[in-house]
């Protein structure tokens, strides 16, 4: 479930067998709890807060979530050191798989300008969800993880033209476009086209910039690229920046994301 996705805040809920992991803490506590209730997941069922990296759009409410929901946190050592959270913390090593709330969770390193940023592969009953946002490019090792996804949540941060002609200061434009910045619509579309037909079955374009992108533009770029490649068996939707927007249930046969 996507609760918020963009440069102003990021948070997801991943549920298996009645318990859930909260991924990133960039949504409000009220929005997290309301979305959980709507999906039949009261806050007692939230087992852990998993963090991708220490940038504020991912951790703004990390302390609040852990304190109010009495949750431990898990992240890479570099991320934990930057945050210094006052809760039980579990350190994750990229490449290793751990058991967490009924899920097998594998962190994998991403090229981004945080201390030790990662994406995550979640597995349960042969269903795989992969989250990869905040990456400046897609290295081959990351492609291997993306290819396994039934649901892939992939960054499609900005339109290149809008970024360079837009209002950001020059150093920020350079940071966003750098190999350790954020993935453009074009890069995301190229990545999806390289993965092949029907693999993954469902894609959420995520972490869209409010200034340099729009849901319509991100979707059109991905769809046009996939059509030109002859890729048809893929459902694509856009996770909205500022409110709960998408939900995916592996038990539903269509694989279509549902609007929240």
Strand positions, DSSP E, 52-201 = 73-76, 89-92, 97-100, 103-109, 118-124, 127-132, 151-155
Element (H, E) at 111: none
Shortest approach of Zn ion to residue 239 CB, angstroms? 13
User: Taking a C-beta distance cutoff of 8 angstroms, is the pair 38, 240 a contact?
Assistant: no
Distance CA 112, CA 83 (A): 17
User: Taking a C-beta distance cutoff of 8 angstroms, is the pair 137, 183 a contact?
Assistant: yes
55 binds Zn ion (CB under 5 A): yes
Element (H, E) at 149: none
Q: Which of 54, 57, 155, 159 binds Zn ion (CB under 5 A)?
A: 57
Shortest approach of Zn ion to residue 63 CB, angstroms? 18
Shortest approach of Zn ion to residue 10 CB, angstroms? 6
Q: For Zn ion, give the closer residue by CB, 10 or 106.
A: 10
**Segment contacting Zn ion by CB under 5 A, of 34-42, 131-139, 198-206, 227-235:** 131-139
Q: Which of 24, 116, 134, 155 binds Zn ion (CB under 5 A)?
A: 134
Between 155 and 194, how does the x/- string for binding to Zn ion read (CB under 5 A)?
A: ----------------------------------------
Q: Which two tokens stand for residue 229?
A: 């490649």
24 binds Zn ion (CB under 5 A): no
* Closest to 117 in 3D by CA, of 145, 90, 136: 136
**Segment contacting Zn ion by CB under 5 A, of 130-138, 145-153, 185-193, 211-219:** 130-138
Between 90 and 129, how does the x/- string for binding to Zn ion read (CB under 5 A)?
A: ----------------------------------------
Instruction: Name the closest residue to Zn ion (Cβ).
Output: 55
Distance CA 214, CA 225 (A): 17
The b/e string for 89-105 (b: 16+ C-beta within 10 A; e otherwise) is beebeeeeeeebbbbeb
Q: For Zn ion, give the closer residue by CB, 74 or 208.
A: 208
Residues 6 or more apart whose Cβ sits within 8 Å of residue 176: 157, 158, 163, 168, 182, 209, 212
Shortest approach of Zn ion to residue 59 CB, angstroms? 10
User: Taking a C-beta distance cutoff of 8 angstroms, is the pair 43, 29 a contact?
Assistant: no
Shortest approach of Zn ion to residue 219 CB, angstroms? 20
Q: Give the count of residues interacting with Zn ion (CB under 5 A).
A: 3
Shortest approach of Zn ion to residue 179 CB, angstroms? 14
Q: Which residues bind Zn ion (CB under 5 A)?
A: 55, 57, 134
């Amino acid at each position: 479930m996507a609760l918020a996705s963009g440069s102003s805040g990021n948070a997801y809920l991943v549920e298996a067998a009645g318990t859930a992991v909260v991924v990133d803490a960039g949504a409000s506590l009220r929005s997290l709890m309301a979305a959980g209730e709507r999906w039949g997941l009261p806050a007692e069922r939230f087992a852990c807060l998993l963090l991708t990296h220490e940038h504020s759009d991912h951790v703004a409410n990390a302390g609040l979530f852990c304190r109010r929901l009495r949750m431990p946190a898990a992240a890479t050592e570099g991320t934990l050191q930057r945050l210094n959270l006052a809760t039980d913390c579990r350190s994750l090593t990229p490449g290793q798989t751990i058991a967490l709330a009924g899920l097998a969770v594998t962190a994998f390193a991403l090229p981004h300008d945080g201390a030790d940023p990662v994406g995550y592969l979640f597995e349960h009953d042969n269903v795989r969800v992969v989250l990869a946002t905040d990456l400046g490019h897609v290295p081959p090792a990351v492609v291997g993880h993306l290819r396994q996804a039934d649901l892939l949540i992939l960054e499609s941060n900005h339109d290149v033209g809008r970024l360079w002609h837009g209002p950001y200061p020059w150093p920020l434009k350079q940071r966003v476009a750098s190999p350790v910045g954020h993935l453009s619509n074009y890069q995301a579309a190229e990545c999806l086209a390289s993965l092949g037909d029907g693999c993954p079955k469902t894609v959420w374009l995520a972490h869209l910039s409010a200034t340099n992108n729009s849901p319509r533009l991100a979707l059109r770029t991905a769809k046009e690229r996939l059509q030109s490649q002859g890729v048809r068996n893929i459902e694509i939707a856009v996770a909205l920046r500022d409110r709960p927007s998408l939900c995916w249930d592996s038990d539903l046969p269509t694989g279509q994301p549902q609007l929240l």
